[in-house]
Structure formats: C-alpha cells, structure tokens
C-alpha cells in the first residue's frame, strides 16, 4: 500500500509458493498472486497530511476495505516503503503515540494481526502506480469519512441541551443540607450510629424498613450515610428530595439505562434506585425518538418433527 499527494492505493497478494525467503513477496516469479487491489483520490484535508500520516492512512483504509479477506489472517504481512511506519504500526504501544491523528489511525488497525515490513518504493511499483493514478476521480464514499468529530459535537450538543433543562450540580454541602432537612435520613443516621437495629424487620419503623436488609453495608462518613458491598465502590446515600435530580444528572447526554446504572453503581445509592432510573429513561421522549429500543422478536413456532418407524 502507498500514499501520494494524489491518492492512496493497495494491492493484496496471496502466497502460493513454499519459499521462506526474507525477500517475500518477491521471492520467486508466480509465488504470489493478485487477490485484490484498489485506489482512491484524497480529500483536500488528506492531501495536507504529513508523509507518515498519509502512509498510515493508506494502511488503515486498505485494512478496512479488505477486512473480509484479512480479518483473522494469521500470517498477514504489510509492506510499506515508509520506514518509520514499521515501528509505528508494529510493536509501538498505543500509549506511546503522541500525535492524535496517528493515534486514531493506529487504533483502527488493532483488530488485525500483522507484521510490518519495509521495502524500497522502487520495488513496489504496482501500489506506487495506483497511488499516483487513482482509478476514481469521484469523491470517496461517505463511509470512508471519519465521523469522530461529528459524533463528539453531537454528544456535546445533547449534553448542553440536557444541562439547560434540568441539570444542577450537586456537591457534598448540597446533599448534607438536604439530609439535615430529611427526618428519615436523620433517623437512619441515628440508627446506624447506635447500632441498635431490631431483630426482626417487622419490628423496625416503617420508614427504615427499606434499609433493614442492607444495614450491614451502611456506614457514616462526615454526617452522611454511605453504602458499600465488600470491597466495591463507596456510594453516597442520597436523600429523597434529591433523588429525582440525581436521576436527571445520570441521564445527562441521553445515556441509556445500562450507562446510567453503571455510573450510579460507582457513586450514589438509594433503595429502589434501579427502578427509578429505568422510569427516568422511559420518560425521555428524545431517547425514544432517536434511539428506540429494539422490539422483541416474534416467536416462531416450529412444527414437531415427524419420524418414521
């Protein structure tokens, strides 16, 4: 595969010979046969890429276009005439790639297993020709575009729209103020501090019964109740007056129920929180319009098999 100021091109060859030469794929005549090739013109922004970025783009685009051939291939070798690319897309860790564009391009290659190999451009005449004389003058497919910036903008807009509606930042002082005005919360603080839970749930006050089964997981930290299971996250017990607001905060950006529950299990808790979050998600008409849940599949009745005896 190769990149030039005009376009990018690739050639996929399949190994037929039994040579083990280091000169592969030029080990012998007819040992490697053409399986697929392609090329396209660059967009105006891609034409301004640095050489290493352009060569990495060619590799990424080739792998995507030929993924049906190359995914799962155990002996895939990528030939490039750009020596820095061998180390970059080879054994360099993703965390060591500082350039954001190269980082994104390398990330797209991680689903493939391959080894990089350098060959001078004068020996890769086919891809050199394809990159300089692309086959199609038309603009490349919309699916070839990188939608990452558009996705980030859409998420930011959705988040800002939600913030403008009903999101209020809650800190410890806000929770502590609400807890001091909540009689049930104060009774619970007193019960946990004294440790005088009754033997039976039926003997407990009605307002504290939802906490009876989890009494061993409750603790007090700076006049606030916390909830934790084993060595898991310590979650803050939210007073009843703030629960609706916290549920709205968890739905920031119109996240789905799984994302809301994942965030909640790391920070906050109250009895029946999962049901409340599910109800919050069900009330969001914007989510229903733009990301509706898939309807259940209809049950297909299979007639009983007929056996001949």
| Beta strands at 2-3 and 218-221: parallel, antiparallel or unpaired | unpaired
* Under 8 Å between Cβ of 52 and 3: no
Class of domain 153-290: mainly alpha
Q: Is the pLDDT of residue 189 over 90?
A: yes
Q: For the segment 232-243, what is each residue's pLDDT rounded down to a tens digit?
A: 788 999 999 999
Q: Specify the higher pLDDT residue, 106 or 255.
A: 106
Average confidence (pLDDT) over 192-214: 92
The average confidence (pLDDT) of the chain is: 79
* Under 8 Å between Cβ of 165 and 40: no
pTM comes to 0.44
Q: What are phi and psi of 295, to 5 degrees?
A: -70, 150
* Under 8 Å between Cβ of 32 and 161: no
* Alpha-carbon 169 to chain mean position: 26
Alpha carbons 61 and 182: distance in angstroms, whole number: 59
Q: Specify the higher pLDDT residue, 211 or 111.
A: 211
Q: For the segment 61-120, what is each residue's pLDDT rounded down to a tens digit?
A: 888 888 888 888 888 888 888 888 888 888 888 888 888 888 888 888 888 888 888 888
Average confidence (pLDDT) over 138-149: 46
Share of the chain above pLDDT 90, in %: 19
At 56, list the tokens.
């990495």
DSSP code of 38? E
CATH code reported for the domain at 2-137: 3.30.420.10
pLDDT of res. 173: 83
Per-domain residue ranges of the chain: 2-137, 153-290
């Amino acid at each position: 595969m190769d990149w030039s100021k005009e376009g990018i091109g690739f050639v996929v060859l399949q190994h037929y010979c039994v040579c083990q030469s280091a000169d592969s794929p030029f080990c012998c005549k007819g040992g490697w046969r053409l399986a697929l090739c392609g090329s396209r013109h660059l967009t105006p922004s891609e034409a301004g890429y640095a050489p290493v970025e352009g060569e990495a783009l060619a590799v990424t685009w080739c792998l995507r276009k030929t993924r049906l051939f190359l995914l799962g291939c155990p002996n895939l070798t990528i030939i490039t005439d750009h020596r820095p690319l061998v180390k970059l897309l080879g054994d360099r860790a993703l965390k060591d790639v500082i350039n954001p564009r190269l980082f994104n391009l390398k990330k797209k290659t991680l689903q493939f297993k391959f080894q990089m190999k350098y060959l001078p451009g004068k020996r890769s005449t086919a891809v050199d020709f394809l990159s300089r004389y692309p086959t199609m003058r038309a603009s490349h497919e919309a699916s070839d575009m990188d939608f990452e910036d558009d996705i980030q903008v859409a998420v930011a807009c959705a988040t800002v729209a939600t913030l403008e509606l009903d999101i209020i930042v809650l800190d410890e002082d806000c929770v502590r103020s609400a807890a001091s005005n909540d009689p049930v919360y104060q009774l619970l603080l007193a019960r946990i501090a004294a440790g005088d839970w009754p033997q039976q749930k039926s003997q407990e006050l009605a307002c504290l019964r939802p906490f009876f089964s989890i009494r061993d997981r409750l603790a007090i930290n700076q006049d606030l109740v916390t909830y934790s299971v084993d060595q898991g996250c310590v979650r803050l017990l939210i007073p009843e007056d703030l629960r609706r607001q916290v549920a709205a905060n968890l739905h920031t950006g119109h996240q789905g129920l799984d994302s809301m529950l994942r965030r909640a299990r790391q920070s906050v808790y109250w009895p029946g929180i999962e049901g409340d979050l599910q109800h919050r998600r069900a009330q969001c008409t914007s989510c229903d319009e733009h990301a509706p849940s898939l309807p259940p599949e209809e049950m297909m009745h299979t007639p009983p098999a007929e056996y001949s005896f």
